[in-house]
Amino acid sequence: MPISLHRLLFSLLSLLLATAAAASPATDKVLQNVRLPAGFQLEVFADNVPSARSMALGAQGTLFVGTRGTTVYAVSGTPGTGLKPTVHVIANKLNMPNGVAFRDGALYVAEINRILRYDDIESSLTNVPAPKVVRDDLPKDRHHGWKYIAFGPDGKLYVPIGAPCNVCNEPKYASLTRMNADGSGHEVFARGIRNTVGFTWHPETKELWFTDNGRDYMGDDQPPCELNVAPRAGLDFGFPYCHGRDTKDPEYGKLGDCARMTPPVQTLGAHVAPLGVKFYTGTAFPEKYRNQVLIAEHGSWNRRTKSGYRLTLVRLDGHDAQAYEPFITGFHRGDEVFGRPVDLLVLDDGSMLISDDSAGAIYRLTYSAT
């Protein structure tokens, strides 16, 4: 190869790598303002995933990302290399496909009123086949209609049915349901849940842990949002008659007794909008983070002083919450919002991905003691 051509190709490759590693103006703001614990680093993995919300990882390493718009994405690339990943559109013109889950080579996508399945998806990212309909009889209400979905240790697909209101008494809603992978056996797992948009299972006990968004219009500091634990099916978590541990609803409090509901394991800040929740199951972070709870707080929309817009840590001793504290902050400054965390995903190398639907980005969180 002529030396001039070689240099040209090298220059082009260097420019490509530099461009791949650079952040967008939106993520620049996040990286400039974010505040991390000592030893942690935050980098941009992908900055071209508009409205990035829920995440699921395929068997071959493809990252699937749902949105609250119309599109589902597949992100192909290895986090940590500095190379910009390839982003494919898996589906478009869907009805708020927020939820994504992966099982046995198939991608499951939750729209408002139905669950779709894309078989052998990682072999067909550029030529996606028509999906199969798993179920199409879920409620069509858009208010709290977008869904987070995940497969549990029992092999069942868990699907929430959010309350179609700020606060109301609608028995067919405000629940967390589950079904078999083929859509059969649909049943209610837990009730009294206003709107959960994030849940996970304890790595040792296999019990279900989930966040729940508190109701609005009871003031800046009431009621709290919640982190809950459901060790078995059939529990009632209080909505709409009770919020937090013992706050009776001013309109629906007469419908139930706070003392008879299952209280949260930890009350969270009012209006922080907790979404994604994960146990840190890796080994790359310091020991004090192992099997502790990390929560993505999307941030308030109706509070005079903004709350949320951060990641928080709930420290546990067994089932007991010992502390609720900030982990990563700086996604906003006053009324100026730089990013809004949505979902969390722990990778095999111990790093963690964080989606941000405001900046349209996926970040990678790492730790280094040096």
d(CA 117, CA 132): 5
| Tokens coding 28 | 């620049």
- Measured torsion, CA atoms of residues 250, 254, 255, 261, in degrees rounded to the nearest 10: 80
Answer yes or no: is pLDDT of 357 > 90.
yes
User: Which percentage of the chain shows pLDDT scores above 70?
Assistant: 94
Whether the CB-CB separation of 238 and 258 falls below 8 Å is answered with yes
How many residues are present in the chain? Answer: 370
Helix residue ranges, H only, 265-323: none
Coil, strand, or helix at residue 151?
A: strand
pLDDT at 31: 97
Confidence class for position 356, pLDDT limits 50, 70, 90: very high
Q: Which residue has the higher pLDDT, 161 or 320?
A: 161
Answer yes or no: is pLDDT of 2 > 60.
no
pLDDT at 273: 98
Run of H or E including 32: helix 25-33
DSSP 214-263: PPSSS-TT-S--EEEEESSTTEE--TTTEETTTEE-TTTGGG--GGGS--
Whether the CB-CB separation of 31 and 42 falls below 8 Å is answered with yes
Q: Which fold has domain 28-367?
A: Neuraminidase (2.120.10)
Average pLDDT over residues 201-213: 97
* Residue whose structure tokens are 């809603």: 173
- Measured torsion, CA atoms of residues 263, 155, 111, 76, in degrees rounded to the nearest 10: 110
Run of H or E including 294: strand 293-297
**β-pair type (157-161, 199-201):** unpaired
Q: Which residue has the higher pLDDT, 327 or 5?
A: 327
pLDDT, tens digit, 9 for 90 and up, residues 59-94? 999 999 999 999 999 999 999 898 899 999 999 999
Confidence class for position 13, pLDDT limits 50, 70, 90: very low
User: Which percentage of the chain shows pLDDT scores above 90?
Assistant: 90
What b/e sequence results for 153-189 when a residue is b if at least 16 CB atoms lie within 10 Å of its CB, and e otherwise? eeebbbbbbbbbbebbbeeebbbbbbbebebeebeeb
How many other CB atoms are found less than 10 A from the CB of residue 117?
A: 20
pLDDT at 319: 78
Cross-strand partners of 295? 277, 312
Confidence class for position 149, pLDDT limits 50, 70, 90: very high
- Tell me the domain boundaries of the chain: 28-367
- Calculate the average pLDDT of the chain: 93
The answer to whether the Cα torsion of 136, 139, 142, 146 is positive or negative is negative
Residue 95 CB contacts under 8 Å (≥ 6 apart), including other chains? 70, 111, 112, 113, 114
Nearest Cα to Cα of residue 73 among 90, 86, 98, 60: 90
Average pLDDT over residues 216-236: 97
Q: Which of 20-29, 273-282, 360-369 has the lowest mean pLDDT?
A: 20-29
User: 3-state SS of 311-349?
Assistant: EEEEEEECCEEEEEEEEEECCEECCEECCCEEEEEECCC
Q: Which of 50-54, 201-205, 290-294, 315-319 has the lowest mean pLDDT?
A: 315-319
CA distance to 104, 136, 180, per residue, from 184 (Å): 17, 12, 5
Is-cis flag, bond preceding 274, omega within 30? no
Average pLDDT over residues 258-269: 98
Q: What letter represents residue 195's amino acid?
A: N
- Angle 226-359-49 from CA coordinates, rounded to 5°: 100
Coil, strand, or helix at residue 33?
A: helix
pLDDT at 17: 33
